[in-house]
Amino acid sequence: MPVNDSPRPRILCISFSDIRADARVLRQLDVLARHGEVTTLSYGERPDAAHDHLQIDSALPSLPQTIPGVLKLGLRRYRSVALDAPAVRAGRALLAGREFDIVVANEARALPLASVVAGAPRIWCDLHEWAPAERSHVLSWRLLVAPFMDWVCRTYLPRIDASTTVNQSIATMYEERFGVRMDIVRNAIAYRPDLSPSPLAADRIRLVHSGGAVPGRNIEAIIDAVDLLGDAYSLDLFLIPSRQGDKYWQRLVDRIQASPRTTLHPPVAPDDLPDALNAYDLGVFILPPHTPNHRLMLPNKFFDFVQARLGIVFGPSVETDRLIRRHDLGAITADYSAADLARTLRGLSPDDVRRFKQNANGVAELLSSEADVAVQEGILTRLASA
């Protein structure tokens, strides 16, 4: 086995995503790199902050979706299937002969692999959402995968050294269901003191939405709303195509092209989003609560919009409602339809929009990643000294 000649801890970061497009993990990597020599294990190419990278074929699923794997899920043979997913098997092969001092498992699905990494590492699991209900609006997930994810959390979380999640609502669920204490690391981005609210245009309110082009995100309803509103409004979209297939993406592109008031832009790197969004007025998102994670969301885009000094118009959601109301950052729609979004936007005067943008400017430092980085730094310091 390799000997660690460096005084810096050997840190392995596991994420079944393309980290270069995963804003939360990219921010995490910046902190990890200050504390040790980081190897990433993920889909996609090496992120800039990683010293070394082990690339998993993006065609390999991170859950046991082969016929034998699905049969084992159906029979509740979870222990035999925990390391059976194609991407997990590939990751385990890539890790052969390597030892680490600290392993960061992003999402519960990475915990079984993290538990077999050589070197007796300390393990930190960053749970980006409520794992047992990640895709509970899909019947096959609800019947087969949700019980498996519940088993993973129940089996592995009590054994690990640190656990984090995105907000207090979800942290409470983990504590009540699995008896583990969670620290909070929000999806906030770094404070941008160089940005200030852009002036309103004379002829229209400029709406913007950024994020993944994933089925179920209700992006179509935002497009429909701007078409209902007329020429006094425009919509710009900064979208990342989903790995889930080209058919949905092509349907969405066709819908965008049919809208005279909607413009699609290429994806923007997470750190560059505040600059790209700053020219707009209102960040918009209306995600129906198909799952507990939707109902309790506190997504990257909320914090991106704040750093860009935009007003915010979101559909109802526990955590975002609280922050929008506390800081008077924008408006909350009554439901998730295009008609209600259009109704809400029509009810906002230019003075309202200016006030929201100024209020975002006033809380941009408070709602930045400073507090979250402090939590991560504390965890890494503790794990490195254990």
Q: What is the pLDDT of residue 141?
A: 84
Contact in structure between 96 and 41 (CB atoms under 8 Å)? no
Instruction: Give the separation between CA 203 and CA 231, rounded to whole angstroms.
Output: 8
Q: What is the pLDDT of residue 243?
A: 61
pLDDT tens by residue, 356-378: 999 999 999 999 999 999 999 99
pLDDT tens by residue, 185-226: 999 999 999 999 999 999 999 999 999 898 889 999 999 999
Q: Examine the pLDDT at 244 and tell me if it is beyond 80.
A: no
% pLDDT > 90, the chain: 86
In the chain the domains, ranked by start, together with CATH numbers, are: 10-186+369-385 (3.40.50.2000), 205-363 (3.40.50.2000)
Beta-carbon count within 10 A of 257 CB: 10
pLDDT tens by residue, 327-358: 999 999 999 999 999 999 999 999 999 999 99
The edge-to-edge listing of strands for the beta sheet with 311-314 is 262-265, 233-241, 205-213, 282-285, 311-314, 330-332
CA angle, corner 203, sides to 240 and 279, nearest 5?
Answer: 40
One-letter amino acid for residue 212 of the chain: G
For the chain, the average pLDDT equals 94
Q: What is the pLDDT of residue 265?
A: 96
Nearest to 309 by CA among 285, 347, 333, 280: 280
Nearest to 12 by CA among 31, 30, 36, 46: 36
Q: Examine the pLDDT at 6 and tell me if it is beyond 80.
A: no
When mean pLDDT is compared across 7-11, 91-95, 174-178, 193-197, the lowest value belongs to 7-11
What's the predicted TM-score (pTM) here? 0.90
pLDDT tens by residue, 46-105: 999 999 999 999 999 999 888 888 899 999 999 999 999 999 999 999 999 999 999 999
When pLDDT is cut at 50, 70 and 90, the band that residue 1 belongs to is very low
The whole-number average pLDDT for the span 116-124 is 97
Provide the pairing of β-strand 122-127 with 37-43: unpaired
Contact in structure between 315 and 344 (CB atoms under 8 Å)? no
Exposure on the CB side of residue 40, measured as CA atoms within 13 A:
28
The edge-to-edge listing of strands for the beta sheet with 162-165 is 52-56, 37-43, 10-18, 102-106, 122-127, 162-165, 183-184
